[in-house]
A and B are shown apart, each in its own frame.
Chain A
Amino acid sequence: MSTKLVHTPEGVRDIYGDEKAKKTVVEQLLHDRIASYGYRDIQTPTFEFFDVFSKEVGTTPSKELYKFFDKEGNTLVLRPDFTPSIARCAAKYYMDEDVPIRFCYQGNTFTNTSELQGKLKEVTQMGAELIGDDSVQADAEMIAMTIEALCHAGLADFQISIGNLAYFKGICAEAGLDEDTELKLRSYISGKNGFGAEELLTDAGVSRENRELLLKVSELSGTAAILKDARAAVSNGRSKKAVDRLEKVYEALCAYGVEKYVSFDLGMLSKYNYYTGIIFKGYTYGVGDAIVKGGRYDNLLKQFGKDAPAIGFMIVVDDLLAAMGRQRLEIPYDETVVKLYYTEKDFDEMLKEARQLRAAGKRAELLPKRTERKE
């Protein structure tokens, strides 16, 4: 064994044996459930032009992208997430479509995150996007489907936390914050860092009333009961509408019968800039970060030339598997292989048997006789 050649670079790894078998099973289970809602598979390229993931689109920061050049000198990027690619596809191939389109995807994404923090740079994501439907029912379908897919995969103890960016944006607009301050504030509030936010707002000269309101946003999390507090706290129409929306989504989720997995967090603000309304994240024990991220992005398709609302989500399959492993959840997989040992003499016979087994849908492995003793 050449010790130099067997290593993989930092942040990527091999998945093999039982682990890969489990991953395949979980992917299949997730996919079955998503497909049962009528979502159709789509495959986009692993790398795209840099502009698809540019700052205007509002995805991963440029320094966290893997970039390289083609022969013509174009900058290419390994996809950090799927949504912009899907949006590009929808704009390109479904330009004149005005009925909702449903996509489902699965593949690896790449982000060049910092070293030695134990995070993978290549992860498998599975997700779905619903384009051309801005209804409450579309929001609820996305969230309910996420919950059902996770349950179907075997996860039991998890929470989907739902927020609405419009609530926060409404207050920001009322307080007259500029974009820079708003972005900074977003990072403080999504980090639940109340006093950091307070300092920022005082420096920005925001009135006391609005300051208290903005600070309260990070505390507005919990069961559906907090929606009432959230509505009472604001006076601007946009934020009130945002609460209405959440209430309606909750009603629809109750109709699906999945409300026990749902909680609300109005202080949830995504690092992806393209989200515009409802956003949600799924949490479970065993991994430090959300295993599901999703939300509404009504302005993203416009960047690609098709003005259509959309909502989507993605599950980080590797994190889901890690969580299930740590929660000691059984992932059933069947890789029983019938082993057939042959000698030169009876090879034809054994081959016949193997072919019969394979034709019957069983797994059959042919092995030369001398290895039998080792088994």
Chain B
Amino acid sequence: MSENRYLTFALGKGRLASKTMELFEKIGITCEEMKDKDSRRLIFVNEELKLKFFLAKGPDVPTYVEYGAADIGVVGKDTILEENRRVYEVLDLGYGKCRMCVCGPKSAEELLKHHEMIRVASKYPRIAKDYFYNKKHQTVDIIKLNGSVELAPIVQLADVIVDIVETGSTLRENGLEVLEEICPLSARMIVNQVSMQMEPERIKRLITKLKENL
């Protein structure tokens, strides 16, 4: 609607953000300020194109986008599933590919074949719950952990874990393996519902351009 309104991007911190900026550069969107690694600024602006960027912790990106604090966000599919926010998921950016899996020692494979109660540790309780309740119809006790989830089956905190698997080397080193795959993951672009309605042309143009450069 208003041409001089800034379009704000929320990017998940880390590798995802740099990959995204690389992609944006291909379509002519640059932000020199952001390349300065020592900068302590939180918001970066491209005055010419009326764009703003900020970095946020992955799980917070859908929240910023849902409330319209950012119009557009780039974040992993895992986060989108876990946060379950009301946003439009418009584009699969293709990078950051990995899988959400049920992992554990080989011996735990048997436990997944029955409907017995098992203990599942995960950083993603919602995804784990949804998978076991609605797809496998198995009763589970979910234990929320905040990192090093692989530890849980080793020290017998849980029978299996639900976690992201990229190469699987951490699993192998600790005597664990992928038992079941839940879904493939990659970086996605999400858009605030209101922004999509209020500035459809600008956002659609961006999506089309990005699609051509994937």
Contact = CB atoms under 8 A, between A and B. Distances in A.
Interface string A8-42: 00000000000000000000000000000000000
A283 B1 contact: no
Given A288-B68, A289-B193, A290-B193, A159 B198 contact: yes
Nearest to B68: A288
Interface stretch (A62-70, A172-180, A189-197, A248-256): A189-197
Nearest to A282: B197
Contact of A285 (B196, B198, B201, B204): B198
Contacts of B194: 283-285, 287-290
A263 B200 contact: yes
B88 A191 contact: yes
B191 A286 contact: no
B96 to A, nearest CB: 15
Contacts of B90: 192-194
A161 interface: yes
B67 interface: yes
Interface in A185-221: 191-196, 221
A372 interface: no
Contacts of B92: 195
B2 to A, nearest CB: 7
B150 interface: no
A157 interface: yes
Contacts, number: 59
Interface in A279-309: 281, 283-290
Interface centre among B90, B191, B201 (most CB of A within 10 A): B90
B89 interface: yes
B197 A265 contact: yes
A36 to B, nearest CB: 27
Interface residues of A, number: 25
B68 A287 contact: yes
A118 B67 contact: yes
Contacts of B193: 283, 288-290
A222 B86 CA distance: 20
A289 B197 contact: no
Indicate the size class of the contact surface on chain B. Answer: 20 to 34
Interface in B91-138: 92
Nearest to B196: A192
Contact of B200 (A196, A222, A281, A285): A222
Interface in B191-210: 191-194, 196-198, 200-201, 204
Interface string B58-75: 000000011110000000
Interface in B39-91: 65-68, 84-90
B192 A288 contact: yes
Which residue among B84, B85, B88, B204 has the maximum number of chain A CB atoms within 10 Å of its CB?
A: B88
B89 to A, nearest CB: 4
B200 A157 contact: no
A265 B66 CA distance: 19
A222 B68 CA distance: 20
Contacts of A263: 197, 200
Contacts of A290: 193-194
Contacts of A114: 84
Contact of A289 (B86, B196, B198, B200): B86
B89 A283 contact: no
Contact of B68 (A117, A195, A281, A285): A285
A196 B204 CA distance: 19
Given A161-B197, A283-B193, A287-B68, A192 B86 contact: no
Contacts of B86: 288-289
Contacts of A287: 67-68, 194
Nearest to A194: B90
A284 B195 CA distance: 8
13 contacts: A114-B84, A191-B87, A191-B89, A192-B88, A192-B90, A192-B191, A193-B88, A194-B90, A281-B197, A283-B193, A283-B194, A288-B86, A289-B86
Interface of A: 114, 117-118, 157, 159, 161, 191-196, 221-222, 263, 265, 281, 283-290
Given A192-B88, A193-B88, 11 more contacts: A157-B1, A161-B197, A221-B196, A221-B200, A263-B200, A283-B194, A284-B194, A287-B194, A288-B67, A288-B68, A290-B193
